[in-house]
């Protein structure tokens, strides 16, 4: 259980507006998503979990431990925020996955679907690599992206239209370590 003193210590004296999802609520939902993903693919087919860094790293680590089947994990990294609280609209691929995507079931794992700019740039690039299937799993979805090239198959939570931090989400690289999700 997160206490007010624990929150203050983790925040280094900086204020948050409110805790949106507690560590306990996140843990329960991630476990349920792991069970859903386990059931979604044939047991004898290759699955690659592809985390979108940096924000998804904690979610990916917890999620793959809840998926009860063989799988591989890799990461890609794109940047669109910088130090701001609004997407810049410019997406650049910083790290390309090393794993082969062709012929595999690929689950792209995103921390939060916000403007959709990053996903709309990356999904066509990944599809060009010939995966057997490409599904999207997001911890949070703001439901504000006007048009997504790929709808999320699994969503942890519908997110409020606030700037969120914690559980991997950052503001200028701060707050990723928080075990809960909060609004600044």
Please list the residues that pair with 74 across neighbouring strands: 50
* DSSP calls for the chain: ---HHHHHHHHTT---SEEEE-HHHHHHHHHHHHHHHHHHS-TTS-EEEEEEETTTHHHHHHHHHH--S--EEEEEEEE--TTSSS--S--EEEE---S--TTSEEEEEEEEESSSHHHHHHHHHHHTT--SEEEEEEEEE-S--S--SS-EEEEEEEPPSS-EEBTTB-BTTBSTT-SSEEE-
Separation between Cα atoms, residue 42 and residue 21, nearest integer Å = 32
Catalytic residue among 111, 114, 135, 170: 114
* Catalytic status, residue 111: no
Active centre residues (catalytic) = 114
């Amino acid at each position: 259980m997160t206490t007010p003193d624990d929150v203050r210590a983790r925040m280094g004296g900086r204020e948050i507006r409110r805790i949106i999802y507690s560590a306990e609520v996140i843990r329960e939902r991630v476990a349920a998503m792991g069970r859903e993903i386990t059931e979604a693919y044939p047991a004898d087919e290759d699955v690659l979990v592809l985390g979108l860094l940096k924000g998804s790293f904690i979610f990916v680590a917890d999620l793959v431990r809840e998926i009860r089947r063989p799988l591989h994990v890799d990461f890609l990294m794109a940047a669109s925020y910088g130090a701001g609280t609004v997407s810049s609209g410019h997406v650049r691929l910083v790290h390309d996955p090393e794993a082969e995507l062709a012929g595999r079931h690929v689950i792209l794992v995103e921390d939060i679907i916000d403007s959709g700019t990053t996903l709309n740039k990356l999904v066509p690039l990944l599809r060009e690599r010939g995966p057997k299937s490409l599904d999207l799993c997001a911890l949070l979805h703001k439901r504000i992206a006007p048009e997504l090239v790929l709808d999320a198959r699994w969503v942890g939570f519908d997110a409020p239209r606030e700037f969120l931090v914690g559980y991997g989400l950052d503001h200028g690289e701060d707050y990723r370590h928080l075990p809960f999700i909060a609004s600044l």
